[in-house]
Structure formats: structure tokens, C-alpha cells
């Protein structure tokens, strides 16, 4: 994944695609920084974490841009999100996420909403990078409230 991003940076330079170039350079820089600071190997798992964090940050920025009425920045940020999502593994559907949550519920057998942490601990590695964790959290809370 890291090598693909590096190759796409070169392609973006040749094509003079500034948005793609800036976005990918930022992600590559974040991965390099994580590699240096945490002394971890650059692998697909690290790249999924960096990409997911980049997408989450941009989604939060869109909320701020909406408050400020900056449609131009919203459009640009949405393009960046689409670009970053193209590097992530295929996203799970809501049905697939629900199925995974059901399996974890059967395994953990939660008694109340206080067991949210236990369930998230089990579900997170199964869906990391493949689903929006906010959606996963919402589905788990909904299921816990029905106990």
C-alpha cells in the first residue's frame, strides 16, 4: 500500500494533479512520522490506520466548513476523502457489520450497556479499515440498548 502511494505521488507529479499530490504527500508524511516516532514497520496495517485517521480528520473538517459556509473547501475535502478511501480495503456493508457484531455478541454475551468496551475490543480488529468505526459504535449501542 505504501509503495502504491509512493508510485502514485510520482504519477500525480507527472500529471500535474496538485490535489492528489498534496493529499498523498500528506498521507505518506503521516506514515513516515508514525514509523519514526513509534518505531513501527511501515506495513498495510499502519497505512490503514493512517488513512482512516486522515479520512476521519477530513470528515470533521467538513463539519466546520459547513458552519462557515465554505462550499469550495467542502468540495475539495470530499475529493480528498474519496481519494483516500480508494486506498483502503473494500468497505463492509451495514449488513456485514451487523453480522460481525452479532457473532461477537454471541461470543461475549453482554449483560448491559456497560459491556460496550468489551464488544468494541472484539469487533475493532475485525472491521478496522473496512468500516466507519462511528457507524460500528452506533450499531453496537443500538443493539446493547435492546438487551
Report whether pLDDT(119) > 80: yes
- CATH, residue 63: 1.10.1510.10
11 and 78, same domain (yes or no): yes
20 and 78, same domain (yes or no): yes
109 and 133, same domain (yes or no): yes
HEC per residue, the chain: CHHHHHHHHHHHHHHCCHHHHHHHHHHHHHHHHHHHHHCCCCCHHHHHHHHHHHHHHHHHHHHHHHHHCCHHHHHHHHHHHHHHHCCCCCCCCHHHHHHHHHHHHHHHCCCCHHHHHHHHHHHHHHHCCCCCHHHHHHHHHHHHHCC
- Structural domains in the chain (count): 2
Q: Which of 46, 65, 85 is the last residue of a domain?
A: 85
pTM beyond 0.95: no
* pLDDT tens digits, 1-39: 999 999 999 999 999 999 999 999 999 999 999 999 999
Amino acid at each position: 500500500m505504501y509503495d502504491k502511494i509512493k508510485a502514485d505521488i510520482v504519477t500525480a507529479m507527472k500529471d500535474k494533479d496538485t490535489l492528489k499530490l498534496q493529499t498523498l504527500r500528506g498521507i505518506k508524511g503521516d506514515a513516515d512520522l508514525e514509523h519514526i516516532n513509534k518505531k513501527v514497520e511501515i506495513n498495510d496495517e499502519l497505512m490503514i490506520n493512517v488513512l482512516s485517521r486522515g479520512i476521519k480528520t477530513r470528515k470533521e473538517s467538513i463539519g466546520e466548513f459547513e458552519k462557515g459556509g465554505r462550499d469550495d473547501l467542502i468540495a475539495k475535502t470530499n475529493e480528498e476523502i474519496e481519494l483516500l478511501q480508494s486506498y483502503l480495503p473494500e468497505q463492509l456493508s451495514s449488513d456485514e457489520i451487523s453480522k460481525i457484531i452479532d457473532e461477537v455478541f454471541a461470543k461475549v454475551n453482554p449483560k448491559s450497556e456497560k459491556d460496550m468496551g468489551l464488544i468494541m475490543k472484539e469487533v475493532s480488529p475485525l472491521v478496522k479499515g473496512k468500516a466507519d468505526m462511528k457507524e460500528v459504535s452506533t450499531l453496537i449501542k443500538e443493539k446493547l440498548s435492546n438487551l
